A and B are shown apart, each in its own frame.
Chain A
Amino acid sequence: MNAGSQAAQALKPAALDAEELRTDFPILGVKVNGRPLVYLDNAASSQMPRQVIDRLTQYQTREHANIHRGVHFLSETATAAYEGARAKIQRFINAAEVREVIYTHGTTDSLNLVMHGYGRAFVGAGDEIIVSQLEHHSNIVPWQMLCEEKGAKLRVIPCNDAGELLLDEYGALFNARTKLVAVTHVSNALGTINPVKDMIATAHRHGVPVLVDGAQAVPHMKIDVQDLDCDFYAFSSHKMCGPTGVGILYGKAALLEKMRPFEGGGDMILSVTFEKTIYNAIPYKFEAGTPPIAGAIGLGEAVDYLESVGMARIAAHEHDLLAHATESLGRIRDVRIIGTARDKAGVLSFTLKGVHPHDVGTILNEEGVAVRTGHHCAQPVMQRFGIPATARASFYFYNTMAEVDALVAGIQKVRKIFG
């Protein structure tokens, strides 16, 4: 091997060993209908490694108290762990400052925080908000509620038959009334990776801030919020090996400072009298009440775990799984893959001619294969493709090629049963 190829070898991360990583996940040993579980519903929620489970157990057995309150030992321990996790998350997404990382209850909560804190303060009658055809309902409905309240208008970036956003049409949507772009990084229903960095640059040329729904991106690829230059970025813990009930809103400090609090209560104030309340500084201004402390600490541990596996290796493995699945499903009679963008994350939505996706899902379940069926909380995507629903397999780094083959065998069985 010459020096040049050695250097290339060093640049390319070694492939991850999914079989070995699977031993970290107790739940992957579960049997379904007597068969090994093949868990392909990771876009809905991922599974949790023992490292995170153990961290939660340690917290609950040795460290729990309310944070930012007491002078006592446990409160200080819990506060240090909670804030320590925030610092890990800051580094993980490369936020400039730790106070730009706000704990929420999940992506939906993060998006609603921006709607209430930014939208209700800065969007007025006749103003416009841009969303895309590919959004999850959680990045559509809050903006519709805002539009209804303020008399503002929703504008929609269309997509082509592959499920790729039409960027010329996007650029043409901007005008003097455009107040915000809210766009998903990765489509949960189709897997399309949107070119959000370019889309953010376009919006900024018009002086418009951008909120990115990163729920399907952060678990699967390295995210650098400063490189993207996004103004807000939202994601959930439970799709990235962490617990449910906690999520993150990243926001640029200057914007967060200008925003109204979303909820009022304890921890988000500096002082309260009946005449006047002074709000706390960011991020605490947006963290009213006792937060999901255990969840936040668990998320911090999940970040450590993902970094130990390596985001580049995770992305490469999922790319291989997707390529194998796309090729294998493409060979099955009457399978139509919905979402064929050039740049895709590990999501494979499909229909089987003459068979409703729910029947596909039920029969796959008999084989131990867990997929999601339905409209995936993205009915406008289904409408765009003229279908009521799809079956969706979504991969994570602990999935194997053999599991893709089990999916393929299951779909062939469906085909056989339905003739």
Chain B
Amino acid sequence: MDSKNLYQEVILDHNRKPRNWGRLADASHRAEGLNPLCGDHIWLSLKLDGDRVGAIAFEGESCAICKASSSMMTASVKGRSVGEAEELIREFRDMATGKLDAASQPNQLGRLSVFAGVRDLPARVKCAILPWHTLHAALNAEATVSTEGDRDPVAAADS
């Protein structure tokens, strides 16, 4: 694939100006996501308002793919129910690992389909999925996740 397909303006924009950047002081759920091989490291905090994601924020150090994925994820799940967020997590993983073709199969991904190109870059799939895996961990009260070992998001997506 050509980098123009992955490094689209929307991804570059979210990388330059990440939305929902920071940490929530009154978070009900938190998780830390780490990709030790490439050094992506993010902290996610969110506050549930009943069954809905009332507020969500992230910060960390990462590549453009991970940062843009985090930023767009926070914008996408804010206001959604936990069940809807989990469904989006599943769809994003499936798209990034090539199991869901966002262009031809029904899904809720919308603008998130700009990340479809990572499926051709195995070394970068983890960068895109890390925030989603971290969100899943936060919603399920796991403190930290790593892309390595049995919590590998790609392995998790395959299981």
- Residues of A in contact with B (beta carbons under 8 Å apart): 33, 355-359, 362-363, 366, 373-375, 388-389, 417-419
Contacts and interface: CB of A to CB of B under 8 A. Distances in A.
B3 interface: yes
A371 B123 CA distance: 13
B26 interface: no
A373 B15 CA distance: 19
A69 B128 CA distance: 53
Contacts of B123: 358, 362
A355 B12 CA distance: 11
A356 B64 contact: yes
B3 A419 contact: no
B64 A359 contact: yes
A375 B63 contact: no
Interface in B100-152: 121, 123-124, 127
Given A388-B39, A389-B39, A417-B12, A359 B63 contact: yes
The 7 closest A-B pairs by CB, nearest first: A356-B63, A388-B39, A366-B3, A358-B63, A359-B64, A363-B3, A389-B39
Interface string B30-43: 00000001110100
B12 A418 contact: yes
17 contacts: A33-B2, A355-B64, A356-B62, A356-B63, A356-B64, A358-B38, A358-B124, A362-B121, A362-B123, A373-B38, A374-B39, A388-B39, A388-B41, A389-B39, A417-B3, A418-B15, A418-B64
Interface in B33-69: 37-39, 41, 61-65
B108 to A, nearest CB: 27
Contacts of A356: 62-64
A375 B39 CA distance: 8
B66 to A, nearest CB: 8
A375 B35 CA distance: 12
Contacts of A366: 1-3
B6 interface: yes
Q: Of A359, A363, A373, A388, which is in contact with the most chain B CB atoms at under 10 Å from its CB? A: A359
Interface residues of B, number: 21
Contacts of A373: 38
A388 B38 CA distance: 8
Contacts of A355: 64
Contacts of B6: 362
Contact of A417 (B7, B62, B65, B121): B7
B18 to A, nearest CB: 13
A389 B37 CA distance: 10
Interface string B1-38: 11100110000100110000000000000000000011
Contact of B3 (A362, A375, A388): A362
B65 A359 contact: yes
A352 to B, nearest CB: 12
B16 to A, nearest CB: 8
Nearest to A388: B39
Contacts of A417: 3, 7, 12
Contacts of B16: 419
A374 B38 contact: yes
A33 to B, nearest CB: 7
A282 to B, nearest CB: 38
Nearest to B61: A388
Contacts of B39: 374-375, 388-389
A362 B124 contact: yes
Contacts of B37: 374
A373 B63 CA distance: 11
Contacts of A363: 3, 7
Given A366-B2, A373-B38, 4 more contacts: A359-B65, A363-B7, A374-B39, A389-B39
